Structure 1
Amino acid sequence: MNTHTRLTADDPRWAQVMARDPQADGQFVYSVRTTGVYCRPSCPSRRAKPENVAFHASPEAAEQAGYRPCKRCRPNQQPTSRHSTRLSFSIGQCSLGMVLVAQSLEGLRAILMADDAETLLEDLNNRFPDTALIRADHTLEQIVTQVIDLIEHPTAPCTLPLDMHGTAFQHRVWQALQDIPAGQTQSYSEVAARINAPKAARAVARACATNALAVAIPCHRVVRSDGSLSGYRWGIERKQTLLTREQPR
């Protein structure tokens, strides 16, 4: 048994992981070197070997170390009871396809784009599985119009209240994205440096990928270090179109 394995096995947190103790959730997370993910202590996934495990005080610390959240236990989200929150949503049409707007009591929770309504609804359900989703086309008609106007004219500032849900690290990234002026781009490394996490370029990329508020949080303004376009949750063609619209005429 090497030193790291012995230290992990002797750590009280390892016993909580082995027991899948739900009482330990929120106290720490653990990462698995061989999979590149981090989990909450109660995660039901197959147990990792102690030599591959490291402990982190928070999801933010794990992400800064280069790990991504487990899709099964969702350690970057607060535990919730089924349908403990509610979102109203509506679907509209814009020049980039169909757009879904979802709103909580605090503000916009999601702006999603796709080619069809079925894909939008699937995306919304996957992002917010523990949320009651209520279609409210009439109630949200004016807000959908404002969102579509933002997509058509992305140089305009977003004045709608946003209800961003994510880890502290993701919030730092999303705030940095909002500070990138229209018509300009930055690389993932540049964004990482701006939030004082220069080694976290990959975690910045993941935060961009998990952004649920298209255009309002302008992750389309983040590009590769050589200036070329990288992946965009809603399609490279939409990313290119948004960047083109932001260029001075």
Structure 2
Amino acid sequence: MSKYESLIDDNIAWQAVSNRDRSYDGKFVTGVLTTGIYCRPSCAARHPKRENIRFFARPEQAEAIGLRACLRCMPNDVARDDAAVRAVIDAIRLAETAPTLAELGTITNYSATHLQRIFKREMGISPAAYARALRSERAKEALENGASVTEAIYDAGYSSASRFYADNEKRFGMKASAWKNGGAGVSIQWANVETSLGTMMVAATDMGVCCLSFNEGEDELRTRFPKALLQAGDADFDALVRQVTASVEKPGDFSHIPLDVQGTAFQEAVWKELQKIPLGETRSYSDIAAAIGKPKAVRAVGSANGANNVAVLIPCHRVVRSDGTMGGYAYGLEIKERLLDKEAIK
């Protein structure tokens, strides 16, 4: 039995190797028993036969059974990459103002371009985007704890109020004062639509879809957005609803549908990873935790998955337990199973 099975399904690992998927570098290594070497998933060398490989969570596990690092892809450098990513995160969190990419390169002894590449590979976003998300999260916490908008902006590390609004108005679809007051002053159009999965509720701000759920109505929407102005949809909203309905009934690429979602930096990292799950595939909670660079945060990933307000478009239904069973779903396992059936999960 592979020592990596606790982190990722062997079939998923083999698919990553077959595709030379760089996004899995650092998440496991491939041991080739016939040659006595281990490689990154993305190694450009000729693929070995499936029966001749084993998957390991860390290079040292492969080395423990006598395998040596491939000189072509140098998989043992991944540990150094992981340490560099952690150092960048620590530097950003401790700095009063966000460090430049050049400064972060100096800290990690990497070139700026290489550091940008490995950080984005591990975290799904650039160091600058991570710093912006962290500032926004700190501002949100300050507002929720009773700070004034001005106090929250400067305590979070923004150099000016205009910088805060530039970063967050597009990201959240509402200004800080509305954010603090539960969406007060924000208009949300909504409608219930009958689908093959049951009654589907779609709600959207001017920025995009902010809620998609099943078998819910106005009461549940008000619980999510207690101080927003809820109103019937106009022609543009009706067109959006038709796009959403078509995507639910005939699953495909959802990227053309605009979203207006908000969460902590961790939640948003999880949601972005969910959006990377290909149609027709599933991932486990531990797979998602490993993919965002937090392999021990399996429970937190489950919580972030449950905090997703936009079902289907952020496909939390594609996450299952490590043993392959369905796990939970906010709108019932029957709907989750039917969604997966639509996407041809067998």
Length-normalised TM-score, structure 2? 0.48
Q: 1:100 touches 1:112 (CA, 8 Å); kept in 2?
A: yes
More strand by share: 1
Q: Does 1:79 align with 2:176?
A: no
Equivalent position of 2:329 in the other structure: 232
Q: Deviations over 1:172-202 (max 9, x none)?
A: 0100000000111111111011011112111
Give, in angstroms, the shift of residue 81 of structure 1.
6.0
The amino acid of 1:169's aligned partner reads F
Q: Does 1:155 align with 2:252?
A: yes
In the alignment, the residues of structure 2 paired with residue 244 and residue 174 of structure 1 have an alpha-carbon distance, to the nearest angstrom, of 22
SS of 1:140's equivalent in the other structure is helix
SS of 1:89's equivalent in the other structure is strand
Equivalent position of 2:232 in the other structure: 135
Equivalent position of 2:196 in the other structure: 95
Aligned pairs for 1:123-202 (under 5 A) are 123-136=220-233, 138-202=235-299
More helix by share: 2
The amino acid of 1:203's aligned partner reads A
Q: Deviations over 1:213-233 (max 9, x none)?
A: 111000000011111011111
SS of 1:165's equivalent in the other structure is coil
Give, in angstroms, the shift of residue 245 of structure 1.
1.1
Q: 2:213 touches 2:311 (CA, 8 Å); kept in 1?
A: yes
Judged with a 3 Å threshold, the aligned counterparts in structure 2 of structure 1 residues 93 and 166 are, in CA distance, closer, same or farther, namely same
Equivalent position of 1:106 in the other structure: 207
In the alignment, the residues of structure 2 paired with residue 198 and residue 242 of structure 1 have an alpha-carbon distance, to the nearest angstrom, of 27
Between the two structures, name the one with larger relative contact order (CA 8 Å, sep ≥ 6).
Answer: 1
**Number of residue pairs the alignment of both structures matches:** 182
The farther-off stretch of 120-129 and 166-175 is 120-129
Q: Does 1:220 align with 2:317?
A: yes
In the alignment, the residues of structure 1 paired with residue 206 and residue 327 of structure 2 have an alpha-carbon distance, to the nearest angstrom, of 34
Give, in angstroms, the shift of residue 80 of structure 1.
2.3
Aligned pairs for 1:34-45 (under 5 A) are 41=145
Q: Does 1:205 align with 2:306?
A: no
Q: 1:90 touches 1:140 (CA, 8 Å); kept in 2?
A: no
In the alignment, the residues of structure 2 paired with residue 110 and residue 28 of structure 1 have an alpha-carbon distance, to the nearest angstrom, of 20
In the alignment, the residues of structure 1 paired with residue 315 and residue 182 of structure 2 have an alpha-carbon distance, to the nearest angstrom, of 31
> Any runs of at least 4 consecutive aligned residues in structure 1 with deviations exceeding 4 A, and if so which?
25-30
In the alignment, the residues of structure 1 paired with residue 310 and residue 182 of structure 2 have an alpha-carbon distance, to the nearest angstrom, of 24
Q: 2:182 touches 2:225 (CA, 8 Å); kept in 1?
A: no
Judged with a 3 Å threshold, the aligned counterparts in structure 2 of structure 1 residues 149 and 27 are, in CA distance, closer, same or farther, namely closer
Unaligned runs of 5+ in 1: 1-24, 31-39, 43-56, 59-76
In the alignment, the residues of structure 1 paired with residue 260 and residue 182 of structure 2 have an alpha-carbon distance, to the nearest angstrom, of 19
Length-normalised TM-score, structure 1? 0.65
In the alignment, the residues of structure 2 paired with residue 81 and residue 161 of structure 1 have an alpha-carbon distance, to the nearest angstrom, of 22
SS of 2:180's equivalent in the other structure is coil
Give, in angstroms, the shift of residue 138 of structure 1.
4.7
Judged with a 3 Å threshold, the aligned counterparts in structure 2 of structure 1 residues 79 and 29 are, in CA distance, closer, same or farther, namely closer
Give, in angstroms, the shift of residue 124 of structure 1.
1.0
Q: 1:89 touches 1:137 (CA, 8 Å); kept in 2?
A: no
| Root-mean-square deviation (Å) | 2.9
Give, in angstroms, the shift of residue 111 of structure 1.
1.1
The amino acid of 2:336's aligned partner reads K
Report which of the two structures shows the higher radius of gyration computed on alpha carbons. 2
Q: 2:282 touches 2:319 (CA, 8 Å); kept in 1?
A: yes
The amino acid of 1:178's aligned partner reads Q
Judged with a 3 Å threshold, the aligned counterparts in structure 2 of structure 1 residues 216 and 191 are, in CA distance, closer, same or farther, namely same
Aligned pairs for 1:112-127 (under 5 A) are 112-114=213-215, 119-127=216-224
Unaligned runs of 5+ in 2: 1-136, 147-154, 157-177
SS of 2:317's equivalent in the other structure is helix
Judged with a 3 Å threshold, the aligned counterparts in structure 2 of structure 1 residues 162 and 82 are, in CA distance, closer, same or farther, namely closer
In the alignment, the residues of structure 2 paired with residue 176 and residue 81 of structure 1 have an alpha-carbon distance, to the nearest angstrom, of 27
